[in-house]
Each structure stands twice: as C-alpha cells, then as structure tokens.
Structure 1
Amino acid sequence: MTVKLGRGACGGHVTLFFAIMDKSKNIEEQGSFGAGFCLKNGVEAITRGEEGDFNLKINYLDGDGDDELYEEVIKILLDEIPEIGDYSWELNIKMSLPVSQGFGMSGAGAIAAASSFQRALGIAHEESRRRSYLVAHKVERIRSTGLGDITALSAGGVERRIAVGSPYSGEKLNSGPGKAEGWFEKIPLILAWKSKTGKHTANYIDNLEWKKKITSSGRKAMKTISKGNWDRSRWQELIESAEKFVIDSELIMDSERNELLFESNNLIKDCDLEGYVVSLLCMLGQSIVIVPKNLDLNNFEIDKICNKFNAAGFETIVTSLSNNL
C-alpha cells in the first residue's frame, strides 16, 4: 500500500495596525493594508496519507485546534489537486503559540497544512509554497478569521502591506494582487498574554462600526508608512504609528486592552527598563508584544521581564522574527 509523508511549517504574525479592504466580491482581491511582525514560532504540520478511501483525521499535539480550518484547507486543495482524494489522510498539528490571541495562528496553520499535503504528493517546493499562500488566503476570507496575515507572511520579517489581496493567484500561481515588503534583523520579541482568549476576529472585521473606525485609523497610519524605503531606519516610526492606531481606532478601549497595556507598562517600569523596551498591542487579540525601543540596544534583560510578567499572571514566550526574504 502506498504511503505518503509530508511536512509544512509556518510562523505566526502580529498585526500592529491595519485598514480593512474587503469590498471586492473576489476573495483573492480582499485583504488589508497594514504593518506588523512575522514570527518564528507558529505551526508545524505533518501529514501521512495511505492509498484508499478519502478521509481526514486531525490530531493536535499541543492543546486544542479548529478542525473546520483544516477541513477547509483540504477541501480547497482537493478542487485543485484531485489526487488528494485518492488517500486517507492523518494530519498532525503542533502549535507553539496560543490561538485567538492575535498571533495569526489560523493563517499559519492553513499555510503549514496546505504545504504538508502538497509535499506529501511530491509537488515542487516553489509551486507548493505559492499555492499554500493562495489556499490559506482563501480559507481566511471564507471563514473571516483574517485579512492580511497571509500576504504579510509571504514577505517575512518586519512587514508592511502596500497592496491588498492574496500574494499569489490564478491557475499558474502568478504574483497576485496583494503585495507586502519585509526587512529582517535579529530582534528579540516577547509575547505576553492572559489565559482568557480574545474576541473572534470576525467580531471586528465583519462589524460595520468597527470596520469604519479601524479602516480610517489604519489609512492614516499607512499614509506615511507606505512611502519611502522599508528598512530598519523606519523602526521608531513603526512603533509610534502602532501606538497612535490603537487610540485613534478606539480598539484600546475594547476587550480590556487599556488595562492590559497599563499593567504591562507598569511591569516594565518595575523592571527599570522603560527606557529600553516598549509594549505594543497585538491586533486583534488580548496580548502584548514587547520590543526594543532602539535596535542598536536590543540586548535587554529578557529573563527579568518574563519572570516579572509570569509572576503577575501573564503567560510569555520569547520569539524572534521569521526570515522569508
């Protein structure tokens, strides 16, 4: 009996600010402008396929997951790669970040799973990579779990999304309407969150009032961020734009984010590190990413911060930027 094995992996993504652009009826043309961080930690998917009746069994090696996400991935792939229907599949998912906390885990999971199925069938790396981004973008839009994470992840590093839509599209998987630019540097990032999960992304991006506030504020931020070269010289501008966005959009006043940011800032002050690091809210979760204020002084006391936050009831993970460049 023929057995197929494949692996896919993708890091998560933190959005700092964004503008919702979903008016097109073509989901490949929907998405967002914005900016954020592509993370090293995320999702690993390993698939095993045995020749026989088509079926999908999903196992989660760390915590619980969302079966419907992966069922949608294989459903879309099946339309494009009929050979997938000749196998009974087992999909093993390992997550190194929590879901529903603003870390882009639905997009990362969709990319990792789509890649693993294709690699199991021996599809070439570049074709598999491009199709995985397209499939994941479709899944995100069909399920209202994300807008621009997939386009962002196609760039890697510190990214800005300057054109809306999927990064790849069409049968030939040519460059899509979406475009993001990224730059990479070894920057330590501390992710911190409380165990309570945030609102589902759809509660914001499908709500007309929130869409108006978010998009207006996101467009303001992108007026300057979208211009000029995109490199480390824009770091301070990125931080300031993120801080302004959460106030202008009023997202800081929703889901206890204001209290979360206030507590985080106080904990950093208790560490006497307020001159070295800054807390930024992760959109649209109830979580914080702590980053250096100055990229030339990024060797801050990570253990001290994590211990302080853990003692205050936060969960923390130290990660870094992913490099897709």
Structure 2
Amino acid sequence: MENHSFVQRLIGRSEFGPLVLLVVELVVFWAINPDFLSPQNISNILAFTVELGLIALAMTLLMTSGEFDLSVGSLFGFSPVLMWALFNSGVTSLEVGLLIALIVAALIGLVNGWFVTQLKIPSFLVTLGMLLVVRGTALFVTDGFPQRTWSAEGSWLADILVGDFYVGPFRIYASLFWFIGAAIILGYVLTQSRTGNWIQAAGGNPNAARARGVNVNRVKVGLFVLSAVMASLAGVISSLRTSAANPNSGTGYELEVIAMVVIGGTALTGGRGTIIGTVLGILILRVMRNGIVLIGVPGLAYNIFI
C-alpha cells in the first residue's frame, strides 16, 4: 500500500513528465547513434548546458512571480562585449571589466523592474523594448564586429569560471560547478525560505500577498535584477570558454530559456515554479539540440522540434 502511495506521489509531481521525456530522448538518440553517449559528446552537452542553464534558473524565479524577461538574450551578448571593449582599450583589467558588466546588467534589470512595478507596463513590452535597446547598443559600439578575446589566456578569472579538467574520459568545465551551486541555492530559496514564499505569493495572488505584508514590487524588482545579472554572467562564461565576444550572441535565447522553464513545470501564469523541473527542461532541450545533429537532422530544424 505504501509503495502504491509512493508511486502515485511520484507520478503526481510536476517533474515526473519532464524526467520521463528526458529518459526517452536519451534512449532514442543512443539507439540511433551509439556515439551519442560517448564521453566526448556528454562533455559537449554539459558545457553548453551551463550557459543557458544559468539564465533559466533565474528565469524560473521571475516567472514564478508572474513576470517575463525577454532582454536576457541581448544581455548575454552585450556583457562580454562591454567587458572586452573596456579591457582591450586598456581602461580596466579583465576582472574590473567583468564587475562593470555585471553592475550595468544589474542596473538594466533595475530599470526593467521599475517600469513594470511603478509604471504598470507589462513585462513583455518592457523587456522586449530593453532587448532592442541593449542589442542595438552592442551593435553600435562594435560596428557589428566581434571583440578580440585572446588576451584572457592564462588569467585567473578564466580559470575560475571556465577552467577545465578531466574526470576519466570526461572533460569538465568549472562553470558546471557554478551552475550546480546556483541550482542548489535557488532551489533552496524557492522552496525552503521565506523569500520563496513571497515569490510564489507574488505570482499566485499579488493582492493577497500585499494584504499579508509582502512587498510584491520589491520582490519583482529584485528578480529582474537577478535575471539580468545571471544573463550577463552566462554571456561572460560563454565568451571565455569559446574565446569569442560577438554582439549578436544570444539571439533567440530568451524564448528558448522560457521554453526550458515551462517544459520543466513552472506555470506561465506564475505562482508555481520548480528548479528541479527547470534543470530537467534545460537538459531536455540541450540534449535535443545535440541529438538531432548526431542523427543527421539539420541543426536549423531544432526550432521545429521545440
């Protein structure tokens, strides 16, 4: 009887469906192409998972509060461009350039939150406008050309964020541990803390939350800042790993990130979110992107599968 009850609870969890889908994906792609589960390919999947994954984790909290952020893709491209532009011009060190990029991202998130909470403009419109402003600024500053990045070789910042090592045949980047740490911390915040209760209340019934003393506006502004900073950090990590800083990087990432969060079980309308589900959603889409290429489907068909 207890086993039956456990199975019912397991099936009833919002993460059960995404978990089954992920397992099916792994089995199908491996059956078609056994190289799919090779150490090299698994290492590649994990490397690419981290960057969009960091954005998706923050987006989970924001969407749980009932808001969206469509500017994350543009920040993903803008922040490394800003960091490298400052460094290559000799104005700052690489580390200070990163700090400035994160501060600028936080200010952009603050502006997004202020427009949404104080002017009552829907977050869809506010962040769509910010997407265009940030992307346009990145293209204007660089004339559309990538920034040179080879000067980062051997820097301690690169080692901390994207340093790599081998565990047996698997190549692991340090960024994977940043992702795991962020998932654990944000998962705890969302499910085990008072702040998590505020976030869910802000998305589920904001009027009732206000009546109970929750500062809904402050919660949402803080989450917009978190979303922007995580997108900025993800862009820098990607730039250091690939030795590239392209102002067009991150184009379309905002919708892919939202898809990851929703597939994982977070409600589009707010009030319910799951970090575990988001991690599964991240893996589902990254495995899909990788797997369809390995089985011979053109990579451009990825959006059709989503």
Q: Higher RCO, 1 or 2 (CA under 8 Å, sep at least 6)?
A: 2
TM-score (norm 1): 0.24
- Give the structure with the larger strand fraction: 1
**Which of the two has greater helix per residue?**
2
TM-score by length of 2: 0.25
